Amino acid sequence: MLMELELGLALPNQTPVDIKRHIKQKRESAEAFDNGEIENKKLCLLLWSGQPNEEEDDRRGSQRTDNKRINEEENIIVGWPPINSMRKELLHHHHQQYHGGNWIARFPGRDNNNGARNRMSLLVKVKMEGVAIGRKIDLRLFNSYQALKHTLLHMFSKYLKIDRNGTEYTVLYQDKEGDWLLAGDVPWETFMESVQRMEILRNDS
Amino acid sequence: MAYSFPEEVLEYVFAFLSSDKDRNAVSLVCKSWYEIERWCRRRIFIGNCYAVSPQIVIRRFPEVRAVKIKGKPHFADFNLVPEGWGAYLYPWISAMARSYPWLEEIKLKRMVVTDESLELISKSFKNFKVLVLSSCEGFTTDGLASIAANCRNLRELDLRESEVEDLSGHWLSHFPDNFTSLVSLNMSCLGSEVSFSALERLVSRCPNLKTLRLNRAVPVEKLPSLLRRAPQLVEFGTGAYSAEIQTDIFSNLVEAFSGCKHLKSLSGFWDVVPAYLPAMYNVCSRITSLNLSYATVQSPDLVELISQCPNLKCLWVLDYIEDAGLKALSSYCKDLQELRVFPSDPYGAEPNVSLTEQGLVTVSAGCPKLQSVLYFCRQMSNAALIAIARNRPNFIRFRLCIIEPQAPDYLTLEPLDTGFGAIVENCKELRRLSLSGLLTDRVFEYIGTHAKKLEMLSIAFAGDSDLGLHHVLSGCESLRKLEIRDCPFGHKALLANAAKLETMRSLWMSSCSVSYGACKLLGQKMPRLNVEVIDERGSPNSRPETCPVEKLYVYRTVAGPRVDKPDFVWTMDEDAALRLS
């Protein structure tokens, strides 16, 4: 269904005349704002064809069904299902007692290893040498190794004193075949297609 | 004609207005009514602690006796709001300590409360009566000790679901020996054992005690002693409801419960041994509220208990109740108004109990007064939702959580759009809705078209495009709170409906596709909104503007950008806002 909307930033009760005046005032700042994402530079008038977002491109559609190994620690979506911590603690306690303590926080029906169950994010677990707790990171929010490495080091700098240049650290990733590879060797898209989890090692170890 | 009534008369009339809406309307009539009203307003509700500042509140309402403040967004309950985000109580207490010496009540939800705040409360307000800390955190039992020791007129101390650092149970012993005013005590969230003799003496000397919710550490054999000392109790929460089966414990319990002729509400029931449940049967006929959501008991035992409660209005239970138990519920409890069914094994790969959509269909058919539902299950169909909607057009709250994200109608494999569409179309008084399962933009079209009274909407893993969000923002006239996670919504609907955001309390969007650039734009265009980007990856300026932000929290405010932000929160266009003020 094609829907054409002319939408303006305006208060709900304004008349059409008011809206046009409103828009004219805004146009100056609109031109000053150079941002590729808002494709129509008239920021307030959004001619909208009702198509799905352009951001949704094909690479998100790739399914990861071939890796059947289930790693319990990776198959978690934060905050889902929506139960609060008191209840979670109760269930954990119950399962510890009655199910041999092997309570697996695992998502039902999950058959892939990377923890990303929805189309919007690609969550992988990252472990840093010397830090007991791993972190989860959404790789869809990056488009280069540079940005990724920078962010990873920033994340872990809370736990360890890290040389921010990052020259002393190597970032590795485990691919679909289970092999550990150096991050940066293959093109970003290829990396995104096969990364399962990541690890950061100090170079002097 | 305002001048025909002396101020005192108007003030007397206004005293009968309890609703904030009415008082707000009255204060808009004319300047003198505004003045009279603001001097006689005694109760304040602040739905978002950052929407206003303590100074603004105090300046307008100088004679307040009761405040209720809410802090973090709802999704904080599910760990989506990083620690250290905000919602600190201290600035409020510090300001109110100076200006409201006669403050009697403080009720808080999702705020960070420190021991320092609690101590300040206990020392600043001589007539302090009511402290309710719902889903709060940041304090220890030392803070509770201050309250116990210093609040001579305390009536209510309710810690429901708060995260308390439990240093010891000693805090309870700080209530002075001449302290007798307690009406309500809820310590169910605490871990440590309190001195039982101190508890016994406290209960004995407080003749007005109506609510007593114990914590898990109080064993079942100690309950009779407390119940005998407080036969006037209306609401009671047990501790761990288990012990080795001994006949004298059982008979003591039966006798003690029988003495409580006014009990209406029961809760607690951790670690339940089913054999002890019948001890309560004598009181069940009067019970209207039953919280069995921690009771890991199987369906037959649950059914036996529920069958004794024909006046039940509210039931919280685990999915151990199963479809069969819900069928029994629907035949025994015709007065049922609220039902919450929680998952016993939410992370298991396979269902561990036989609870399906059928249970909810049956209850909706059999309980004509049912108006509020929270239901976790593993399968749902459009047919079931349509049946539920037709059975129960009187729903005001409908929250369905199908555990697998994006699970389709299990019979047809279609999205659940028509099912939820039937809910909003039939339930014209619906105020709160939580969606789950496979959903396209179509469901949002239904919601925007029909859900005109909807005030709060929760969306997860749903929709196809900005069109979905646009339907909601443009159609839901009464919308106040919108929380969204993991949906393919970008900036278009948001920017096109920016003005709508000023009519709402707040909007939360996490793991969506709203770019940093769009957030900046929204912040620039809407100076009366705080557009907060929450991102733990470091400054959004270090990434391209097209990069989506991790989390976005937008709320209207008259207080400007907040000054207590942690390093992972950025308020968009703060500079411009400051220039304008």
How confident is the model over B480-507, as pLDDT tens digits? 999 999 999 999 999 999 999 999 999 9
Contact B270, B191 (CB under 8 A): no
**Closest CA of chain B from A65, distance in Å:** 17
CA-CA-CA-CA torsion sign (B385, B386, B391, B396): positive
Q: Which of A134-143, B84-93, B248-257, B385-394 has the lowest mean pLDDT?
A: A134-143
Q: Which of A25-29, A134-138, B122-126, B299-303 has the lowest mean pLDDT?
A: A25-29
Question: Are the beta carbons of A11 and B499 separated by less than 8 Å?
Answer: yes
- Chain A residues touching B524 at Cβ < 8 A: 29
Binned at pLDDT 50, 70 and 90, residue B177 comes out as very high
pLDDT of B112 > 60? The answer is yes
Peptide bond into B6 cis (omega under 30): no
Q: Percent of chain B having pLDDT more than 70?
A: 98
Question: Are the beta carbons of B542 and A50 separated by less than 8 Å?
Answer: no
pLDDT of B198 > 70? The answer is yes
- The pLDDT score that the predictor gives to residue A83 is 93
pLDDT of B375 > 50? The answer is yes
Q: Percent of chain B having pLDDT more than 90?
A: 91
- The pLDDT score that the predictor gives to residue B579 is 45
Q: What is the pLDDT of residues B258-280, one digit of tens each?
A: 999 999 999 999 988 888 999 99
What six digits make up the tokens of B386? 């349509």
pLDDT of B248 > 80? The answer is yes
Binned at pLDDT 50, 70 and 90, residue A15 comes out as very low
Rounded Cα–Cα distance for residues B299 and B40 (Å): 53
Rounded Cα–Cα distance for residues B6 and B2 (Å): 8
Residue type, B304: E
pLDDT of B577 > 80? The answer is no
Give the residue from B405, B295, B82 showing the smallest Cα distance to A87: B295
Quick check: helix, strand or coil at residue B324? helix
- Chain A residues touching B486 at Cβ < 8 A: 77, 118, 120-121
Give me the residue from B345, B406, B491 closest to A118, CB to CB: B406
CB-facing half-sphere around the CA of B7: CA atoms within 13 A: 10
pLDDT of A194 > 50? The answer is yes
Q: Is A30 on the interface with B (CB under 8 A)?
A: no
Rounded Cα–Cα distance for residues B148 and B13 (Å): 37
Contact B175, B148 (CB under 8 A): yes
pLDDT of A38 > 60? The answer is no
- The pLDDT score that the predictor gives to residue B347 is 85
The pLDDT mean for chain B works out to: 95
Rounded Cα–Cα distance for residues B86 and A115 (Å): 29
Q: What is the pLDDT of residues B61-101, one digit of tens each?
A: 999 999 999 999 999 999 999 999 999 999 999 999 999 99
pLDDT of A45 > 60? The answer is no
**Touching B: A residues 105-144, CB under 8 Å:** 105-110, 117-121, 138, 141, 143
Bigger pLDDT: A163 vs B325: B325
pLDDT of B54 > 60? The answer is yes
- The pLDDT score that the predictor gives to residue A127 is 86
Question: Are the beta carbons of A9 and B470 separated by less than 8 Å?
Answer: no
- The pLDDT score that the predictor gives to residue A99 is 54
Q: What is the pLDDT of residues B339-350, one digit of tens each?
A: 999 999 888 878
User: What ipTM goes with this model?
Assistant: 0.89
DSSP 8-state secondary structure symbol assigned to residue B549: P
Residue of B nearest to A4 (CA): B467
Q: Which of A129-143, B225-239, B316-330, B547-561 has the lowest mean pLDDT?
A: A129-143
Question: Are the beta carbons of B347 and A90 separated by less than 8 Å?
Answer: no
- The pLDDT score that the predictor gives to residue B2 is 52
Contact A194, A176 (CB under 8 A): yes
Taking CA atoms, B313 is separated from B93, B294, B372, in Å, by 37, 19, 11
Q: Which of A116-130, A183-197, B163-177, B210-224 has the lowest mean pLDDT?
A: A116-130
Cβ atoms < 10 Å from Cβ of B225 = 16
- Chain B residues touching A95 at Cβ < 8 A: 345
Query: What is the pairing mode between strands B105-109 and B43-46?
Result: unpaired
Maximum alpha-carbon separation in chain A: 70
pLDDT of B189 > 50? The answer is yes
Binned at pLDDT 50, 70 and 90, residue A123 comes out as confident
Opening angle at CA B162, ends B156 and B167, nearest 5: 95
Rounded Cα–Cα distance for residues B451 and B454 (Å): 5
Contact B157, B181 (CB under 8 A): no
Question: Are the beta carbons of A78 and B488 separated by less than 8 Å?
Answer: no
| pLDDT, mean of residues B498-521 | 97
| pLDDT, mean of residues A153-159 | 72
- The pLDDT score that the predictor gives to residue A130 is 78
Q: Percent of chain A having pLDDT more than 90?
A: 5
Binned at pLDDT 50, 70 and 90, residue A177 comes out as confident
Give me the residue from B342, B486, B538 closest to A120, CB to CB: B486
- The pLDDT score that the predictor gives to residue B204 is 97
| pLDDT, mean of residues B32-60 | 96
DSSP code string of A58-93? GGGG----S-----TTT---TT-S---HHHHHHHHH
Rounded Cα–Cα distance for residues B556 and B52 (Å): 9
Rounded Cα–Cα distance for residues A121 and B417 (Å): 23
Q: Which helix (H) or strand (E) holds A138?
A: strand A135-138
Q: Is A49 on the interface with B (CB under 8 A)?
A: no
Q: Is A158 on the interface with B (CB under 8 A)?
A: no
Query: What is the pairing mode between strands A135-138 and A169-174?
Result: unpaired
Q: What is the pLDDT of residues A60-90, one digit of tens each?
A: 333 322 222 223 344 468 899 999 988 888 8
Give me the residue from A53, A79, A83 closest to B343, CB to CB: A83
- Chain A residues touching B344 at Cβ < 8 A: 91, 94
What six digits make up the tokens of B488? 């393919």
Task: Tell whether pTM > 0.90.
Answer: no
Contact B298, A98 (CB under 8 A): no
- Chain B residues touching A87 at Cβ < 8 A: 293, 342
Binned at pLDDT 50, 70 and 90, residue B115 comes out as very high
H-assigned helices in A4-144: 16-32, 85-98
B461-475 in b/e form (b: 16+ CB < 10 A) is bbbbbbbbbbbbbbb
- Residue B399 phi, psi dihedral angles, 5° rounding: -125, 115
Q: Which of A60-64, A73-77, B128-132, B422-426 has the lowest mean pLDDT?
A: A60-64
Binned at pLDDT 50, 70 and 90, residue B114 comes out as very high
Binned at pLDDT 50, 70 and 90, residue B580 comes out as very low
Q: Which helix (H) or strand (E) holds B456?
A: strand B456-460
Rounded Cα–Cα distance for residues B105 and B392 (Å): 37
Give me the residue from A52, A90, A121 closest to B486, CB to CB: A121
- The pLDDT score that the predictor gives to residue A147 is 78
**Closest CA of chain A from B146, distance in Å:** 25
Cβ atoms < 10 Å from Cβ of A48 = 20
- Chain A residues touching B487 at Cβ < 8 A: 120
| pLDDT, mean of residues A20-28 | 40
pLDDT of B35 > 50? The answer is yes
